[in-house]
Structure 1
Amino acid sequence: MLEFDGLTKGFSGKQVLRGLSFTVKPGELFGFCGANGSGKTTAMRIALGVLSPDAGRVLWNDMEIDAGIRRRIGYMPEERGLYGKMRPRDQLIYFAQLSGVRTNVARRRADEWIERLGVDMGAKDPLERLSLGNQQRIQLIAALIHDPDVLILDEPFSGLDPVATDAMADALTEFSRRGTPVIFSSHQLDLVERLCDRVGIIRDGALVAEGTVAELRRSTGHRQLQIALTGAPENWAHTLPGVRIVTEREDMVTLEVGPETDVREVLAAAQSLGDLEYFGRRESTLAEVFRDTVTT
């Protein structure tokens, strides 16, 4: 288990982390979400030993992370961290060797991952000649190639097309199924919603929400309905009792229902106005939960 325990960090008098605490369980995909400048990257760098906390600690299986444990962490920074003039395969082998992988195993793994993630490159191309998406694939492979016990990834899906996104998601899911804790930050909340077992939302250096997507949805307190009518008068949704209109698209409307509103009354009122094509509850998206959480 990876545990962030009460991390506090400031730079030049500005507090970036404020007692940040959360855990990532074995085999769990944990989405770490927050606005730019909220402290996500700082927390990840502390786990890697790049930065030291002013207070708090990061633990792996109840032991404070040291240099030996860090060798077993796969880390992918948001910024490009590879050598532009060096051929991608050569540096993947080099990074694997630095983590204790034998040369013949490193070569085999490099070739397997390059093929699996569909990296498009010539045999002699340096990294800088690759597209940004292919550079991102190589950067992920560098984090995976030594078969780490923990994965910490900062914006791993940035700049990827849908095919590459799916390949990367499959790779992360495979590691989690082996029991590897995987934490990644991302602004692509639809991906976080689809992939992650649990999500933590950070604001101003502190965790303000944590749980499964379903738990976070319930925590907002919003109740939304979707209703589709045909043959109804114009602006029919404005006559329904105890609701607020969220969206109106052709015959379908999305409504927010007040806490005291009887949904059966809304249904009866809608049925009296036209032919009911659809009536159902609408779940909030993670993006909507995120907006509610970071702006309140």
Structure 2
Amino acid sequence: MSSDGDTALSLDGVTKRFGAVCAVDRLSFDVSQGEVYGFLGGNGAGKTTSLRMVLDIIRPTEGRITVLGRDPGRENASEIGFLPEERGLYRNMTALDTIVYFGRLKGMSAAAARTEGSTLLDRFGLSANARSPMNQLSKGMAQKVQLATAVVNRPRLLMLDEPFSGLDPVNQGLLEDEIKRAAADGATVIFSTHVMQHAERLCDRLLLLAKGRKKFQGTLDEARALLPARLSVIAQQSLAALPGVESVAEGAEIGGGWRECKLRLEPGVEPGDVLERCFAAGISLRRFEEHRPSLHDVFLHLVGPAGAQT
């Protein structure tokens, strides 16, 4: 847990009920300043509800939230950027005026918002469309404008709710670049997603959420360490009796006594330990390949297929 001076966001025992439905259940976590933090879970996990409580759109039933050292509220608006999952902009407003409007809502002067908006449109390849009404822009262009409204005030805390949903590969790459840019400028970035590959590429730490409850919080390496390591080897001798090997699935012989085997290691055993034991036992190897579990594998392990539904 971070000290208060180093914490951008803190949830302490936060619960949110809608009648008989508990959307968020005693959720506690801290996000340190400058982190890129992934908020991961399937549909109905409680991600959007949690972010809306941080923004003070809805209030928790129980628990405490601290945002940039303060309680949630309008006074945080100038330091927060938010990209909602359900997106929509004023159809008859031009692209630049749309960005300026949101900048003004966040406490920027009209001149500062217009300057930063023009810079963003240029960076996103939309300078020629600055005066185009939103209803004349393609879906991809409109998504870029929406992103610009979230970052126009150069927020200290940038929150993105399912930001990759509906984006084509080019715009997904642009969004990943903007997340990296914001973090490099010192912002704390929190994004929710059910697409684990984005979290694997971007996150310093991540939280896995299922049915409103925290299942895991930590780094990607710490998440992967929750699953036993797996190896693919080609050997001439059986490895079944080797210390640290939990199970061996032997394939067909491929000639000369060589056989491909799939090994599952005991918890806590490193692949390097097995390699050393092979040498010590005089076992000949032609291949020794580690298969690291993906974040998707870890998620399924922690929450099961039902909790991973999206």
TM range (shorter): 0.7 to 0.9
| 1:263 pairs with 2:269 | no
How many residues get paired? 284
Q: CA deviation at 1:260?
A: 10
List aligned pairs for 1:232-271, cutoff 5 A: 241=240, 242-243=246-247, 255-259=263-267, 263-264=274-275
TM-score by length of 2: 0.80
- Given candidates 164, 172, 175, the residue that maps to 1:168 is 175
1:138-171 Cα shifts (integer Å, max 9, x gaps): 1111110011121111011222233322222222
How far, CA to CA, are the matches of 2:199 and 2:304 in structure 1? 19
**Given that residues 75 and 143 in structure 1 are in contact (C-alpha distance below 8 angstroms), is that contact kept between their aligned partners in structure 2?**
yes
Q: Percent of aligned pairs with the same residue?
A: 35
Secondary structure of 2:225's counterpart equals helix
Correspondence for 1:291 = 300
What RMSD in Å do the two structures reach over aligned CA positions?
3.1
How far, CA to CA, are the matches of 1:260 and 1:50 in structure 2? 44
List aligned pairs for 1:92-111, cutoff 5 A: 92-111=99-118
What are structure 2's unaligned runs of at least 5 residues? 1-7, 241-245, 306-310
Q: Which moved more, 1:161-170 or 1:283-292?
A: 161-170
| 1:24 pairs with 2:28 | no
How far, CA to CA, are the matches of 2:94 and 2:278 in structure 1? 63
- Given candidates 177, 185, 205, the residue that maps to 1:178 is 185
**Given that residues 78 and 153 in structure 2 are in contact (C-alpha distance below 8 angstroms), is that contact kept between their aligned partners in structure 1?**
no
Secondary structure of 1:146's counterpart equals coil
Secondary structure of 1:75's counterpart equals strand
Q: CA deviation at 1:118?
A: 3.0
**Given that residues 11 and 64 in structure 2 are in contact (C-alpha distance below 8 angstroms), is that contact kept between their aligned partners in structure 1?**
yes
How far, CA to CA, are the matches of 1:61 and 1:123 in structure 2? 33
Correspondence for 2:229 = 223
**Given that residues 225 and 282 in structure 1 are in contact (C-alpha distance below 8 angstroms), is that contact kept between their aligned partners in structure 2?**
yes
Structure 1 residue identity aligned to 2:46: G
C-alpha spacing 1:86/1:7, structure 2 compared with 1 (3 Å)? same
List aligned pairs for 1:42-57, cutoff 5 A: 42-57=49-64
Q: CA deviation at 1:216?
A: 0.9
TM-score by length of 1: 0.84
How far, CA to CA, are the matches of 2:175 and 2:260 in structure 1? 35
How far, CA to CA, are the matches of 1:252 and 1:6 in structure 2? 50
How far, CA to CA, are the matches of 1:112 and 1:81 in structure 2? 22
Q: Which moved more, 1:80-89 or 1:250-259?
A: 250-259
1:43-78 Cα shifts (integer Å, max 9, x gaps): 000111111110112202432122211332101100
